[in-house]
Amino acid sequence: QVIGGAGLDVDFSLESPSGRLLVSESRRSDGVHTVEPTEPGDYRLCFDNSFSTISEKLVFFELIFDSAQEEEEEEEEEEGDAWVEAAEPEATLDIKIEDIKESIETMRGRLERSIQMQALLRAFEARDRNLQESNLGRVTFWSAFNVGLLLLVAFLQVYTLKSLFEDRRPLRT
């Protein structure tokens, strides 16, 4: 998401490690993309602002790796099960522990989604704040310009009225 700069747009592309173009967008202010990694290696993410060489852009982006989280959760479950087996709880206690573990995992997933949403909302807020500050500068400039123009017109009107009442006849002696 482009949160600052003139036009609030930028070109975006994503390439696989073999150089195959996966996503390409032109002059967009925001976007969400889901890509399934099909080959190992480094993917290339590019934000291109070459069409607007005068103005710089401030870009917010976030990468979320779902597969890595699932693998971590599986490892944590395997490690977490070791102490449960060592303790050999009774059947009712075993069910309660599983319920607690499930509740904790659900809560952890929801907290992660909350953190992601808060980051996205902060990006929206930053973009809107930059836009408001830009608008404030323009409004201030044009207000000052209009006040100056108003004073100039007032001065010209007073001068014109004063010149209408001046006596331009030569004095006779």
| pLDDT at residue 70 is higher than 50 | no
Per-residue pLDDT, 68: 46
Q: How far apart are the first and last CA of the chain?
A: 84
More confident residue, 13 or 83: 13
6 contacts 27 by C-beta, under 8 angstroms: no
Instruction: Summarize the confidence of residues 113-129 as an average pLDDT.
Output: 86
Q: What value does the mean pLDDT of the chain take?
A: 80
Q: Is the pLDDT of residue 32 over 80?
A: no
pTM above 0.75, yes or no: no
The set of residues, in sequence order, having a beta carbon less than 8 Å from that of 97 and lying 6+ positions away, is 84, 89
Cβ neighbours of 127 (radius 10 Å): 20
Q: What is the DSSP string of the chain?
A: -EEESGGG-EEEEEE-TTS-EEEEEEEES---------SSS--EEEEE-TT-SSS--EE------HHHHHHHHHHHHHHHHHHHHHH---HHHHHHHHHHHHHHHHHHHHHHHHHHHHHHHHHHHHHHHHHHHHHHHHHHHHHHHHHHHHHHHHHHHHHHHHHHTS--SPPP-
